[in-house]
Amino acid sequence: MREAPVGVFDSGVGGLSVLAEISRLLPDESLLYVADCGHIPYGEKSPEFIRQRCRLVADFFQQQGAKAMVLACNTATVAAVADLRERYPHWPLVGMEPAVKPAAAATRSGVVGVLATTGTLQSAKFAALLDRFASDVRVITQPCPGLVDLIETGELDSPALRQLLRSYVEPLLAAGCDTLILGCTHYPFLKPLLAEMVPSTVAIIDTGAAVARQLQRLLHERGLLAAGPAQPAQFWTSASVQHLQDILPLLWSGSGRVRRLAM
Ligand code: DGL
């Protein structure tokens, strides 16, 4: 069981930013990755729809013998993590949420900006996160429709992407935010662009590394950490295999086979 793979899931390629953190911290783990590119973006879909998709993927990882699952998607986590925990009570499951707690601790101006999907920002789980950790700071939320779709094309520096990103970030800077939370796993791929757009005094925070550490903790507690060597990562997409194959080298430094998952 220790050498069984870990299943990592996102609506698309965003979770590859988390996969990279997992592979850096836990190089002996064999990784499976499912991108539900056929149904992206989740940010504008209903929670019920997302829960159904997550169930299908969780069942698939179970069939593949995965010893744990990482929901490498903030939007899927708010919609489905409770449902999946109920469905698989004994399966180590790691979800993710915007880094409100570290951002509230880090801000000096007292103003924090959150870039995330509409689904994440409208959720009760996100409201609870703000109540719990951000009562002393001003949090400005910015839904970013369209951004994920552009990132999915694999063009991370197009004029359209720059323009859209700028339109989302500028109001946050104008409001005095000195800490920017990337509350969607697609957005870490925009860090080079963001670094050009925001002053160097603005901290940019995401939770990929924290999720990798949480996975490490859970596997360690259960005696499930792999001794290695890891198998090459395996990828599945619910849309075009060719497209994922084409853009994978831009977003993932390792190798890996891509297959189609009809679901
Ligand atoms: N990557 C996902 C997240 O972390 C969402 C992308 C989407 O809208 O599908 O929220």
- Indicate whether 152 and 170 sit together in one domain: yes
Sequential DSSP letters for 78-135: HHHHHHHHHHSTTS-EE-----HHHHHHH-SSSEEEEEE-HHHHTSHHHHHHHHHH-T
54 is catalytic: no
Record the tokens describing residue 145, joined without a space.
Answer: 């429709």
Count each helix (H run) and each strand (E run) in the chain, helices first: 11, 10
Helix or strand (DSSP H, E) at 164: helix 159-174
For residue 15, give the ligand 1 atom closest to its CA.
1
Catalytic one of 54, 73, 144, 177 = 73
pLDDT tens for residues 39-87?
Answer: 999 999 999 999 999 999 999 999 999 999 999 999 999 999 999 999 9
Q: Work out the burial of residue 102: count CB atoms within 10 Å of its CB; fewer than 13 is exposed, 13-18 middle, 19 or more buried.
A: middle
Instruction: Give the confidence band of 209 by pLDDT, cuts at 50, 70, 90.
Output: very high
For residue 184, give the ligand 1 atom closest to its CA.
4
207 lines ligand 1 (CB under 6 A): no
Among residues 207, 227, 251, which one ends one of the domains?
207
- Indicate whether 200 and 112 sit together in one domain: yes
- Indicate whether 54 and 140 sit together in one domain: no
238 lines ligand 1 (CB under 6 A): no
CATH code of the domain covering residue 114: 3.40.50.1860
Instruction: Give the confidence band of 263 by pLDDT, cuts at 50, 70, 90.
Output: confident
State yes or no: pLDDT of 246 exceeds 90.
Answer: yes
- Indicate whether 199 and 105 sit together in one domain: yes
pLDDT tens for residues 97-113?
Answer: 999 999 999 999 999 99
144 is catalytic: no
Instruction: Give the confidence band of 129 by pLDDT, cuts at 50, 70, 90.
Output: very high
Establish whether 11 is an annotated binding residue: yes
95 lines ligand 1 (CB under 6 A): no
In a domain, 195, yes or no: yes
Domains of the chain: total:
2
- Indicate whether 192 and 116 sit together in one domain: yes
Residue of 75, 78, 187 to mutate, ligand 1, most atoms within 8 A of C-beta: 75
206 lines ligand 1 (CB under 6 A): no
Query: Which domain, by its residues, includes 246?
Result: 6-96+208-260
- Indicate whether 216 and 164 sit together in one domain: no
Instruction: Give the confidence band of 256 by pLDDT, cuts at 50, 70, 90.
Output: confident
Summary mean pLDDT of the chain: 97
pTM over 0.75: yes
DSSP state of 154: T
State yes or no: pLDDT of 193 exceeds 90.
Answer: yes
